[in-house]
């Protein structure tokens, strides 16, 4: 490990210097105020107000439950710093059907719910659209069926006695034909308004987790406008913007800094200023490991793209003798290595490429959000982080920042 850690430490120091430069550029380059009251205060006092602290939320997928529950330093001790947690193992399979993922360990899920309640952390389960392309759009297009879907969500919330619901319907963006968006968009807004009314009447909250909308004045790309970020903001308690997964199919950064800034600018422009305090920036604490080249004949079970996270990365670096390289422009780390795959019959050598966000990268993105006027962050995912990441997250969300 010494041979790996020493160069990594030197590179980390260089990255920090680069990051400080980026922070300065970002701070100077922000040309908007988060709301009218801040603008008025700045005008009368001639002194900009310091960025507000950020609340911390997070998603917990079922596949990390064992790690979260068996390692107190990675789970239970985090609860004091969390506002709300979204269990990530429920899916919509029909207008009146919400199912738990079949791989979810029931005993661990029940224990996790109990610990969250005991700690006073709000439980806001995420509901994922797992139906085929176009099916959710069809449900929302019919007022009667849409109302039945709202009733099913209400019944689910009652059944599990949760504090709120997080709607994570990504099929509109990633499976449906964009030609359908103009039809889906108003029906989506009606759905969010109707669901909000029902949940709020029961004393529950409503969050939505959605892809980004961009500043088209800069890029010419309005992003995933089907979600009508500005119109739904008045009906939700949290508008979670997923500022990660920039590169998935092909190797590349997870959430490059320039893109994160663009995402933040875009949603602040799309959402009326009186609802800016409802925006939550989703921040990744993970990475991917892609095969980029192959020599020889690989077995059929040779690994493809896999996920990596701070909780497992040190072991991978040690086993594969990987030398990480920092990128101050993206605010991430990258590495390449060779992997021999042999099943006793065929053998190949894969060249694999990694990109990931470490503790410093998480802290930087939180500070960027706060300086932009976004006062909430959500981590993808709870259970991925190690102590360094968690401490950096909490410190960057709560410590005083110079205006």
Please give the DSSP secondary-structure letter assigned to residue 224: S
Nearest to 168 by CA among 120, 103, 114, 124: 124
Q: What pLDDT score was predicted for residue 119?
A: 94
Mean pLDDT of the chain: 89
- Over residues 341-378, the pLDDT tens digits come to 999 999 999 999 999 999 999 999 999 999 999 999 99
CA 53, distance to chain mean position in Å, is 19
Alpha carbons 117 and 242: distance in angstroms, whole number = 26
Q: Could you give the angle at which helices 359-372 and 257-270 cross, rounded to 10 degrees?
A: 30
- Give yes or no for a contact between 232 and 208, defined as CB atoms under 8 angstroms apart: yes
SS3 of 276-293: the string is: HHHEEEEEECCEEEEEEE
| 334 pLDDT higher than 80 | yes
Q: Which two tokens stand for residue 9?
A: 């430490």
Q: What pLDDT score was predicted for residue 31?
A: 36
Alpha carbons 392 and 401: distance in angstroms, whole number = 14
Q: What is the mean pLDDT of residues 117-131?
A: 97
| 29 pLDDT higher than 70 | no
Q: What is the CATH number of domain 50-286+359-398?
A: 3.20.20.80
Q: Which two tokens stand for residue 156?
A: 């689910």
Q: What pLDDT score was predicted for residue 24?
A: 41
Alpha carbons 56 and 121: distance in angstroms, whole number = 11
Nearest to 310 by CA among 393, 228, 368, 366: 393
H or E, element range at 334: strand 332-342
Domain ranges of the chain: 2-11+288-356, 50-286+359-398
Alpha carbons 12 and 325: distance in angstroms, whole number = 9
Q: What pLDDT score was predicted for residue 76?
A: 53
Alpha carbons 400 and 99: distance in angstroms, whole number = 43
Residue 116: is the preceding peptide bond cis (ω within 30°)? no
- Give yes or no for a contact between 14 and 326, defined as CB atoms under 8 angstroms apart: yes
- Over residues 49-97, the pLDDT tens digits come to 899 999 999 999 999 999 998 765 544 579 999 999 999 999 999 999 9
Q: What is the mean pLDDT of residues 225-240?
A: 98
Q: What pLDDT score was predicted for residue 46?
A: 58
Parallel, antiparallel, or unpaired for β 306-308 and 84-88?
unpaired
- Over residues 7-23, the pLDDT tens digits come to 343 334 444 444 444 44
For the chain, how many residues are written?
403
């Amino acid at each position: 490990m010494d041979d790996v850690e020493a160069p990594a430490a030197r590179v980390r120091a260089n990255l920090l210097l680069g990051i400080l430069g980026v922070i300065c550029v970002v701070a100077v380059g922000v040309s908007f105020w988060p709301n009218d009251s801040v603008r008025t205060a700045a005008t009368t006092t001639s002194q900009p107000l310091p960025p507000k602290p950020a609340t911390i939320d997070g998603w917990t997928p079922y596949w990390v439950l064992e790690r979260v529950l068996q390692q107190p330093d990675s789970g239970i001790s985090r609860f004091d710093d969390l506002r709300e947690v979204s269990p990530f193992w429920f899916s919509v399979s029909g207008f009146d059907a919400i199912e738990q993922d079949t791989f979810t360990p029931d005993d661990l899920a029940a224990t996790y719910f109990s610990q969250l309640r005991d700690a006073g952390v709000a439980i806001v389960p995420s509901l994922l659209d797992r139906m085929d392309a176009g099916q959710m759009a069809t449900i929302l297009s019919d007022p009667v069926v849409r109302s039945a879907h709202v009733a099913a969500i209400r019944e689910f919330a009652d059944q599990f006695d949760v504090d709120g619901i997080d709607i994570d319907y990504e099929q509109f963006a990633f499976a449906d034909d964009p030609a359908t968006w103009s039809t889906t968009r108003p029906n989506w807004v009606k759905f969010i308004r109707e669901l909000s009314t029902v949940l709020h009447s029961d004393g529950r909250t409503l969050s939505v987790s959605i892809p980004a909308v961009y500043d088209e004045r800069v890029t010419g790309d309005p992003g995933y406008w089907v979600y009508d970020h500005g119109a739904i903001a008045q009906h939700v308690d949290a508008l979670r913007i997923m500022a990660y997964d920039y590169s998935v199919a092909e190797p590349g950064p997870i959430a490059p800094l320039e893109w994160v800034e663009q995402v933040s600018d875009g949603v602040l422009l799309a959402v009326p200023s009186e609802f800016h305090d409802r925006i939550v920036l989703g921040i990744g604490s993970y990475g991917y490991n892609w095969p980029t080249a192959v020599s020889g004949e690989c077995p059929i079970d040779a690994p493809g793209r896999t996920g990596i996270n701070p909780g497992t990365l040190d072991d991978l670096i040690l086993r594969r003798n990987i030398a990480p390289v920092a990128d101050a422009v993206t605010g991430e780390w990258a590495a390449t290595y060779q992997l021999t795959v042999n099943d006793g019959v065929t053998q190949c050598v894969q060249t694999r490429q990694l990109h990931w966000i470490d503790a410093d990268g998480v802290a930087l993105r939180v500070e960027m959000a706060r300086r932009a006027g976004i006062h909430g962050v959500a981590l993808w995912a709870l259970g991925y982080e190690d102590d360094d990441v968690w401490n950096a997250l909490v410190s960057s969300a709560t410590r005083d920042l110079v205006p």
